[in-house]
Chain A
Amino acid sequence: MSTDIWVWIAALLSLAIFSYLYKDNPVFRFAEHLFTGLSVGYMIVLMWNNYAYQYIVIPISQQRWITLIPMALGMLYLFRFVPKLQHLMLIPIAITLGIWNGWSIPVVIEADLFKQMQGTMVNTTMFQNPWDPHNGLVVGLLVVVGVVCTVLYFYFSREHRGPLKVASSVGIWFVMIGFGASFGYTVMARMSLLIGRIQFLFTEWIHLIK
């Protein structure tokens, strides 16, 4: 077993959190409150050191007065709590939105729309090995059918009848398969977290796993 006091504290708090799986109890609530308090305290220090100190205190102490402009703009957010002057809060929001939209719109359209449409298209390389599960003609056609049918499922300007109904019914199957894949991955992710904690308990605490 470990002789490190911090490993023991971490292990006992992990067990305290796991105790909730049986039922709610004071030990779990203690660990929960401790975790919440520590996290908030840690984040405050982290935010002060990494943001406020670095980007406000240091520049101002070095007499870089231009820092006061973004700082003043940021502080306009605080007018959220002054009902008569709430509209001032819109200034930093407008500036942020303007800058981000200017930065993002052209590249997002290219990356998320044009490149994705390009990725959906059947191309000549797919004919070389039609059954390739990653870049074959069959899977390429499946992607085209899947994208078109899924988009049609979300087309609500016309009643889903006739061919549109058939296409949207196919589309919902693709959506469900997508959700199923996401769910499977989510299970794996959650289990990975549990495994990580159990590995810690059995490796670093009681040294049962070498």
Chain B
Amino acid sequence: MKILEKMSSIDRRVIFLLVALAVIIPLVANIGLPSRPGKYTIEMYGFIDRLPAKSQPLLIDATYSPSMMPELQPMLKAILRHCFARKVRVMLMTLDPNGPALCEAALREVAPEYNAVYGEDYVFLGFKPGSSAVIMAIGENVRQAFPADNYGKPLSEFPMMADVRNYADIPLVVSIAGSAITQGWVIYAGTRYHASVGAGCTAVSTADYYPFLQSGQLVGLLNGMKGASEYEWLNQRNGYSTARREAGKGMDAVSIVHLLLMLFIVLGNIGYLAGRRAAQKQ
């Protein structure tokens, strides 16, 4: 009985140590647990997969800061790999002042893998303050929000931007964000300007966006590291990428930690019930 009671008062450092081991061992041992993509990842992937090569560019908004990198950076890289492999043009932008460095890091890593050419295959619009106001400005004219790219070169000088005026010329907007800005894309770009919007978000905010899937306001949703891992898996299965699956590797650790936490919850409850029963007897 005492062992049962002690279960609800395990030293937190023991729990930290076990969680650390549950994370480190799968990462080092490369377990490779099975992981299959969910419906909403497949829908997002399928939408991009159906876009014709060398057509109008899709718009990716990568609005997140370094604290969200483990979940969202692999997502951005996976989508870029998919687009570059299929020669789908990309406009990349950010509404977070921390974003440009992260976007440039992703482009520096991914673009050379596919010999993607700046200005022909992709353009980096950079950061613009104003969040929802920027989203609406793009609805009128993308040059109103971004007269020049991140490096000061006017958008009119890029051939791939010649026929891009507003959302009517953008087949899909992908909002990769760790904030509520995705809702801004759904409300302003999706509802007001009838743009197709897909999203990638941190796992914390996933539950908030499910209603937009049910109502058809989002074409797909990548949820946290799991979504990124699924997208990487689809890229590899279709031969679009041979890069190391960053998020895929992390998902092994996530699965093991979840099992461990479930065990802790069960043990904690057993300990709590045992303690309460002992108190009632006294």
Residues of A at under 8 Å CB distance from B?
A: 21-22, 46-47, 50-51, 54-55, 103-104, 107-108, 110-112, 115-116, 118-120, 134, 143, 178, 181-182, 184-189, 191-199, 202, 208-210
Instruction: Determine if B39 and A134 form an interchain contact, defined as CB atoms under 8 angstroms apart.
Output: yes
Cα separation A47 to B202 with both chains bound (whole Å): 25
Instruction: Determine if B204 and A195 form an interchain contact, defined as CB atoms under 8 angstroms apart.
Output: no
Is residue B181 within 8 Å, beta carbon to beta carbon, of the partner chain? no
The one of B97, B190, B192, B226 that contacts A47, using a Cβ cutoff of 8 Å: B97
Is residue B24 within 8 Å, beta carbon to beta carbon, of the partner chain? yes
Is residue B211 within 8 Å, beta carbon to beta carbon, of the partner chain? yes
Interface residues of B in 56-71 (CB under 8 A from A): 67, 69-71
Cα separation A193 to B66 with both chains bound (whole Å): 10
Once A116-B211, A119-B214, A195-B23 are accepted as A-B contacts, the answer to whether A208 and B204 lie under 8 Å apart by CB is no
Instruction: Determine if B187 and A196 form an interchain contact, defined as CB atoms under 8 angstroms apart.
Output: no
The SS class assigned to the B binding surface is helix
Is residue B196 within 8 Å, beta carbon to beta carbon, of the partner chain? no
Least CB distance, A54 to chain B, in whole angstroms: 8
The SS class assigned to the A binding surface is helix
Which A residues are CB-close (under 8 A) to B24?
A: 198, 202
Q: Which 9 interchain pairs have the tightest Cβ spacing?
A: A196-B70, A119-B215, A189-B203, A111-B191, A188-B203, A185-B203, A192-B225, A189-B204, A111-B187
Which A residues are CB-close (under 8 A) to B224?
A: 185, 188-189, 192
Is residue B27 within 8 Å, beta carbon to beta carbon, of the partner chain? yes
Least CB distance, A90 to chain B, in whole angstroms: 22
Cα separation A46 to B13 with both chains bound (whole Å): 38
Which A residues are CB-close (under 8 A) to B188?
A: 107
Cα separation A188 to B258 with both chains bound (whole Å): 8
Instruction: Determine if B192 and A187 form an interchain contact, defined as CB atoms under 8 angstroms apart.
Output: no
Instruction: Determine if A199 and B250 form an interchain contact, defined as CB atoms under 8 angstroms apart.
Output: yes
Which B residues are CB-close (under 8 A) to A178?
A: 207
Instruction: Determine if B16 and A50 form an interchain contact, defined as CB atoms under 8 angstroms apart.
Output: no
Which A residues are CB-close (under 8 A) to B16?
A: 21
Instruction: Determine if A119 and B204 form an interchain contact, defined as CB atoms under 8 angstroms apart.
Output: no
Known pairs A181-B207, A195-B250; list 17 more (Cβ under 8 Å): A50-B129, A107-B192, A115-B217, A119-B217, A182-B207, A188-B224, A189-B71, A191-B258, A192-B70, A192-B71, A193-B71, A195-B225, A195-B254, A196-B250, A198-B24, A199-B246, A199-B249
Least CB distance, A101 to chain B, in whole angstroms: 12
Once A107-B192, A185-B204, A192-B254 are accepted as A-B contacts, the answer to whether A51 and B23 lie under 8 Å apart by CB is no
Instruction: Determine if A50 and B97 form an interchain contact, defined as CB atoms under 8 angstroms apart.
Output: yes
Instruction: Determine if B27 and A199 form an interchain contact, defined as CB atoms under 8 angstroms apart.
Output: yes
Least CB distance, B137 to chain A, in whole angstroms: 12
Interface string of B252-281 (1 = CB under 8 A from A): 011001100100000000000000000000
Q: Write the chain B residue with the least CB distance to A210.
A: B244
Is residue B127 within 8 Å, beta carbon to beta carbon, of the partner chain? yes
Q: Write the chain A residue with the least CB distance to B98.
A: A46
Subset of 16 A-B contacts with CB under 8 Å: A50-B97, A50-B129, A55-B129, A108-B187, A115-B215, A115-B216, A115-B217, A119-B215, A185-B224, A187-B257, A187-B258, A188-B226, A188-B258, A189-B202, A196-B250, A198-B27
Instruction: Determine if A195 and B27 form an interchain contact, defined as CB atoms under 8 angstroms apart.
Output: yes
Least CB distance, B157 to chain A, in whole angstroms: 21
Is residue B223 within 8 Å, beta carbon to beta carbon, of the partner chain? yes
Q: Write the chain A residue with the least CB distance to B136.
A: A103
Cα separation A183 to B187 with both chains bound (whole Å): 26
Which B residues are CB-close (under 8 A) to A111?
A: 186-187, 190-191, 217
